[in-house]
């Protein structure tokens, strides 16, 4: 009995642990919810309903759809809703989930099917007859629903693609279509850089020639969008159109509703070299299909999740079941169980053309942009970014390389072992001067508070009211050759307050004992006297240097100044009071800051070719357009600027609003003292400004005057 008695609790513990690891024993399923934009922001309204005691499900808030995918793979959520593109990304990254249910809003087998319709008078019988014909294309600018992969499928599978090394990959594709078709209407942005977009449209005008406003060729054109290419065809402007089958049926009156054109004289063009009259009872031939959004879960719980999802209904609008449906639906849906439950690859293989559309070979040798990362987390985010970019047709491809730190990354870019490294504002000058790198793009921000604004912080009762008043004082810097250091050097030099050159010597003589971490070891020793390694390093270290009363002034970002005292307040440090410190403002008629910079920027080799820069910049601008803060879809597949796996500032800064090749988010930004301008116009060291120097110059002038008088 003793043995049985002791074994029983052990068995219970084991059984309990096994039970807790399975969905059956949980009190609630966990649905990963990605909040949409506008009217699709539903989590705050419906997730609390799921907290009720009768509910069988609870919300886990995902940052984006691929974040939900990772959560499911790690057992931190049970199910979520994914697009077909999300499933391709999961498959490429070998993340295993099973497809349990389709989220349909019609009874059609697929969300939509894409067809080619020709004007019979054009005498097009096969795809090879399309040469020198007129193409009506949906255009670009609504990639959330119509990805580049699907938009370009007809041309990529029909038009011989060139790989001219003197052209970017995007221009190669455009050039190939321009040579192949007599004319076309491909309205909307071809690339995300407006200047380059205009340049390409001027170079290949025949691809806008069929548009209603060929000189503009924009998303406002009559022949742009889902209905545009069908109007282009039936207005007699083009010979072939590339469009969704449901739009074709509506346009030609093949489904109940309005009819804009007769089916007479039009046919479907098939991939197999045949045509089918539009008014035929034969099933239309489809080139590529888009699968429905789906519910997916881990293998161990797939059967339960399918049965659970299939049981939901809106029979009671106040129920938790209805709340859950409102969370996972985009529109009022028909939920269809996938029978049998399928792995991603087999599910997508039933979608004609979809996988092959995502696997067209590129140019050889392949063009790849190598991004240098410094942590496992950065490298992981980069890998997910690479795969989701491929699915949405962004080219060239991205590759992710890992180094130990930013210094090694900068050296790797300089040595052509990598192509792009993202650096903070503090490392920009080092990247330029030590590794001969230059800026590809800036991480621009919407608010002044989010900029890296450098200020001088002093004690409120110090009596220091000007930069001249800092002479002989003890200074605390975050690091040598960073934003603060260079901004102070520039400011003092511009005001002619440095009495000695070069700059390092001048700064040493201007300030007394100070702390400048990483100051050159062969430099002035007084600039390292106050330093305490690991304590006074970086911005918070500079603030500690000041507040510990070792320094008289700290040069830090305005944000670090604010958050430092906020952190002190939360820690209830009674010895430090924010009211005892202030920002030095020399002249209230001028900005009080020393400089401002965007939080980060991407650096490339100084000798990078113009062609490569255009290609590479467009890749990041496309990523920004699809995955940045202004994404067009209801929910975002991937978060470019924001938390990644719960960690902030991975690869890019969370506060970034938009990537641009200039440091300002808007051209109307008039904030003075931009850091890159300061670096570009640093100027030579000009000694002068001290009273001693002034008196010496005064007496020298008198001596010269006396000598001249004696001469004459």
Distance CA 80, CA 438 (A): 42
Distance CA 159, CA 32 (A): 42
Contacts with 607 (C-beta within 8 Å, 6 or more apart), sequence order = 436
Using the Cα atoms of residue 379, residue 384, residue 389 and residue 395 in order, give the sign of their dihedral: positive
Torsion of CA 704, 706, 707, 712, to 10 degrees: 130
Q: Which residue has the tokens 């020639």?
A: 209
Q: Is 187 annotated as a binding residue?
A: no
Instruction: Calculate ∠ Cα 368-373-374, nearest 5°.
Output: 160
Structural contact between residues 240 and 130, judged by C-beta atoms closer than 8 angstroms: yes
Distance CA 112, CA 243 (A): 10
Structural contact between residues 142 and 225, judged by C-beta atoms closer than 8 angstroms: yes
Distance CA 563, CA 549 (A): 19
Q: Is 484 annotated as a binding residue?
A: yes
Contacts with 229 (C-beta within 8 Å, 6 or more apart), sequence order = 136, 137, 138, 139, 185, 223, 238, 241, 242, 243
Distance from CA of residue 362 to its chain's centroid? Answer: 23
Distance CA 310, CA 239 (A): 45
| Coil vs helix vs strand at 453 | strand
Q: C-alpha distances in angstroms, 652 versus 71, 205, 346, 563, 640?
A: 21, 37, 35, 20, 7
Q: Which residue has the tokens 């009995």?
A: 1
Task: Retrieve residue 21's tokens.
Answer: 């690891």
Q: Spell 660-671 as b/e; 16+ CB within 10 A means b.
A: bbebbbeeeeee
Angle between helix 376-391 and 610-627 (nearest 10): 90
Q: Is 452 annotated as a binding residue?
A: yes
Q: Which residues pair with 368 in a beta bridge?
A: 397
Contacts with 118 (C-beta within 8 Å, 6 or more apart), sequence order = 124, 239, 240, 241, 266, 267, 268, 269, 275
Distance CA 638, CA 353 (A): 24
Using the Cα atoms of residue 602, residue 603, residue 608 and residue 610 in order, give the sign of their dihedral: positive
Structural contact between residues 637 and 66, judged by C-beta atoms closer than 8 angstroms: yes
Classify residue 47 as exposed, middle or buried by CB count within 10 Å of its CB (0-12, 13-18, 19+): buried
Structural contact between residues 158 and 264, judged by C-beta atoms closer than 8 angstroms: no
Numbered residues of the known binding site for hydrogencarbonate: 144, 484
Numbered residues of the known binding site for Fe(3+): 112, 452
Numbered residues of the known binding site: 112, 144, 452, 484
């Amino acid at each position: 009995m003793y043995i049985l008695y002791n074994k029983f609790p052990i068995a219970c513990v084991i059984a309990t642990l096994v039970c807790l690891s399975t969905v059956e024993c949980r009190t609630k399923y966990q649905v990963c919810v990605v909040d949409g934009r506008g009217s699709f922001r539903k989590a705050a309204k419906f997730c609390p309903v799921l907290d009720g005691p009768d509910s069988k499900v609870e919300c886990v808030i995902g940052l984006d759809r691929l974040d939900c995918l990772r959560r499911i793979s790690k057992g931190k959520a049970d199910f979520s809703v994914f697009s077909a593109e999300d499933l391709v990304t999961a498959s490429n990254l070998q993340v295993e989930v099973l497809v349990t249910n389709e989220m349909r809003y019609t009874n059609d087998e697929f969300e939509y099917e894409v067809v080619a319709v020709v004007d019979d008078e054009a005498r097009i019988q096969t795809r090879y007859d399309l040469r020198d014909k007129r193409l009506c294309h949906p255009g670009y600018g609504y990639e959330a629903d119509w990805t580049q992969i699907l938009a370009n499928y007809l041309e990529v599978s029909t038009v011989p693609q060139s790989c001219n090394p003197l052209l970017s990959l995007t221009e190669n594709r455009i050039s190939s279509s321009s040579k192949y078709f007599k004319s076309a209407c491909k309205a909307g942005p071809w690339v995300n850089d407006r200047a380059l977009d205009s340049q390409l449209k001027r170079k290949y005008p025949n691809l806008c020639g069929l548009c209603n406003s060929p000189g503009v060729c924009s998303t406002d054109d009559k022949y742009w969008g889902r209905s545009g290419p069908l109007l282009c065809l039936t207005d007699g402007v083009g010979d072939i159109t590339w469009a969704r089958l449901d739009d074709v049926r509506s346009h030609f009156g093949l489904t109940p509703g309005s009819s804009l054109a007769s089916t007479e004289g039009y046919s479907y063009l098939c991939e197999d070299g045949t045509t089918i009259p539009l008014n035929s009872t034969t099933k239309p031939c489809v080139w590529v299909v888009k699968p429905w959004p789906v519910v997916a879960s881990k293998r161990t719980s797939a059967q339960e999740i399918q049965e659970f999802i299939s049981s939901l209904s809106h029979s009671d609008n106040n129920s938790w079941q209805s709340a859950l449906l409102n969370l996972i639906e985009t529109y009022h849906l028909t939920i269809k169980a996938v029978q049998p439950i399928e792995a991603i690859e087999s599910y997508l293989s039933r979608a004609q053309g979809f996988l092959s559309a995502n696997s067209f070979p590129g140019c050889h040798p392949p063009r790849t942009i190598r991004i240098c990362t410094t942590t496992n987390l950065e490298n992981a985010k980069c890998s997910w970014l690479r795969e989701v970019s491929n699915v949405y047709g962004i080219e060239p491809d991205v590759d992710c390389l890992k180094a130990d730190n930013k210094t090694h990354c900068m050296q790797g870019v300089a040595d052509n072992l990598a192509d792009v490294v993202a650096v903070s504002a503090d490392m920009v000058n080092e990247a330029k001067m030590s590794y001969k790198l230059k800026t590809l793009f800036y991480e621009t921000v919407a608010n002044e508070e989010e900029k890296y604004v450098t200020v001088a912080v002093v004690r409120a009762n110090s009596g220091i009211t000007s930069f001249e008043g800092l002479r002989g004082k003890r200074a605390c810097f975050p690091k040598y050759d960073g934003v603060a250091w260079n901004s102070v050097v520039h400011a003092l030099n511009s005001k002619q307050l440095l009495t000695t050159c070069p700059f390092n010597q001048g700064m040493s003589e201007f300030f007394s004992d100070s702390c400048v971490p990483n100051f050159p070891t062969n430099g002035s020793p007084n600039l390292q006297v106050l330093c305490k390694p690991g304590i006074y390093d970086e911005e918070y270290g500079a603030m500690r240097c000041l507040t510990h009363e070792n320094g008289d002034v700290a040069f830090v970002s305005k944000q670090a100044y604010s958050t430092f005292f906020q952190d002190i307040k939360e820690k209830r440090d009674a010895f430090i009071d924010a009211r005892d410190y202030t920002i030095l403002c020399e002249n209230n008629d001028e900005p009080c800051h020393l400089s401002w910079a965007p939080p980060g920027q991407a650096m490339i080799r100084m000798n990078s070719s113009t062609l490569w820069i255009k290609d590479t910049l467009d890749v990041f601008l496309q990523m920004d357009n699809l995955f940045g803060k202004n994404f067009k879809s209801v929910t975002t597949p991937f978060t470019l600027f924001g938390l990644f796996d719960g960690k902030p500032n991975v690869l890019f800064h969370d506060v970034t609003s938009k990537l641009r090749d200039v440091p300002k988010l808007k051209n109307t930004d008039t904030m003075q003292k931009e850091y890159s301008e300061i670096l570009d116009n640093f100027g030579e060291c000009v000694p002068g400004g001290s009273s001693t120097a002034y008196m010496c110059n005064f007496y020298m002038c008198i001596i010269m005057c006396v000598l001249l008088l004696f001469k004459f």
